[in-house]
Structure 1
Amino acid sequence: MTSPLIRAQQAAAEADEALAALFQTQYAGMVRLAVLLGADDAEDIVAEAFYQLYRRWRKLRGADAAVPYLRSVVCNLTRMRLRHLQVVRKHATPETAAPSGSSAEAEALLHDDQRALVAALKELPARQREALVLRHWLGLREAEIAEAMGISPGAVKSHTSRGMAALTRVLEERR
């Protein structure tokens, strides 16, 4: 019979292994997701998302809930970061304003043919951009998108439809 301490150590080791494997398979995709959602510090956002997943690992329904949870955290952190930057830019003086633009890491992840699409995505409202990226880039179903964004499936349909219409207009104007 094993002691509770040994069982706890074994559970912690198994969790560490599962998180390491998840990091190996999901990190690059989550960085791309954050970039497509408009984050200028995607690596920091994903690192924070993995940290939050690590802290809450024992509270997850199961290991299969880790990726949806991670995706949701990346969406929420990106949204909060963009709101924060809007406030900072609104109240910044010309002397304190940070240079705008994407990080070198974010640009390196994108191919030339994707830059126009990403630029058009950045012009969309945040919720429309999130819905489109989750739907068309990750291929999630409406229920999964609703869970990741924290909204109803009907709102997902609305954001996706409006986002596609706006994206089509923006891309046609650039031609």
Structure 2
Amino acid sequence: MRPDDAAAFHEFVQAQWPRLVRTAYLMTGDHAEAEDVAQTALAKAGASWRRIQATERPDAYVRRILVNCNNNRFRRKRPSLLFGDKTPDVAVPDPTLRIDQRDALRKALLNLPPRQRAAVVLRYWEDLPEAEVALAMGCSVGTVKSQAARGLEKLRADPALADVSPAQGTTSW
């Protein structure tokens, strides 16, 4: 990598790291795995940084790599390991929700199929437009809409979330 490309990539990583880890955490449910997924995505992005940097939205491109890395991780894991009652060391930093609500929501998110989880996280937590979510997931906008709708429907039907109400000013689900 040329020095000017390396400097631009380093600046990109510094600016995007917290968001990439947060997004990966919401998809994996585990802080360590989220960091691994984010690091893998950035390693892949670094190898093609010159091409990625020339795109209109390098952040969207890297987010797509992140989703792919998470999907690859999910395919390799056995379902029993993914859906066990595993509590992460670090909770999602959201001061508007109580700890028990965050736990219930995290567990409910982990029970969603990976594509529904990705659609819900990217669309409603990251607040990305449907077109960007479609780009990140490698699917059509219609698929994003249907996956997000199915995911939200499952979250609404989850009895563990019966007492959880959306925080003031957040997207209703």
Q: Cα distance 1:83–1:123, how it changes in 2: closer, same or farther (>3 A)?
A: same
Q: Cα distance 1:173–1:89, how it changes in 2: closer, same or farther (>3 A)?
A: closer
Please tell me whether Structure 1 or Structure 2 has the larger radius of gyration of its CA atoms: 1
Residue 83 (structure 1) aligned to one of 70, 75, 81: 75
1:85-100 matched pairs, under 5 angstroms: 85-86=77-78, 89=81
> Is 1:154 matched with 2:146?
no
State TM-score, norm by structure 1: 0.77
3-state DSSP of counterpart to 1:37: helix
Number of the residue aligned with 2:23: 33
Over residues 2-23 of structure 1, what are the superposed CA-to-partner deviations in whole Å (9 max), with x where a residue is unaligned? xxxxxxxxx8222111111111
Distance in 1 (alpha carbons) for counterparts of 2:106 and 2:161: 15
Query: Cα distance, 1:148 vs. partner?
Result: 0.5
- Structure 1, unpaired ranges of 5+: 1-10, 91-98
Distance in 1 (alpha carbons) for counterparts of 2:142 and 2:153: 17
More helix by share: 1
Distance in 1 (alpha carbons) for counterparts of 2:136 and 2:122: 9
> Is 1:70 matched with 2:62?
yes
Amino-acid identity (%): 32
Over residues 74-100 of structure 1, what are the superposed CA-to-partner deviations in whole Å (9 max), with x where a residue is unaligned? 11111111221126859xxxxxxxx86
Alignment RMSD: 2.5
3-state DSSP of counterpart to 1:101: coil
**Which amino acid in 2 is paired with 1:159?**
Q
> Is 1:164 matched with 2:156?
no
Distance in 2 (alpha carbons) for counterparts of 1:167 and 1:60: 35
Number of the residue aligned with 1:19: 9
Q: Cα distance 1:64–1:114, how it changes in 2: closer, same or farther (>3 A)?
A: farther
- Structure 2, unpaired ranges of 5+: 164-173
Distance in 2 (alpha carbons) for counterparts of 1:133 and 1:100: 20
Number of the residue aligned with 1:44: 36
Over residues 23-51 of structure 1, what are the superposed CA-to-partner deviations in whole Å (9 max), with x where a residue is unaligned? 11111111111110125311111111111
State TM-score, norm by structure 2: 0.78
3-state DSSP of counterpart to 2:78: helix
**Which amino acid in 2 is paired with 1:134?**
L
Number of the residue aligned with 1:119: 107
Number of the residue aligned with 1:59: 51
Distance in 2 (alpha carbons) for counterparts of 1:172 and 1:88: 20
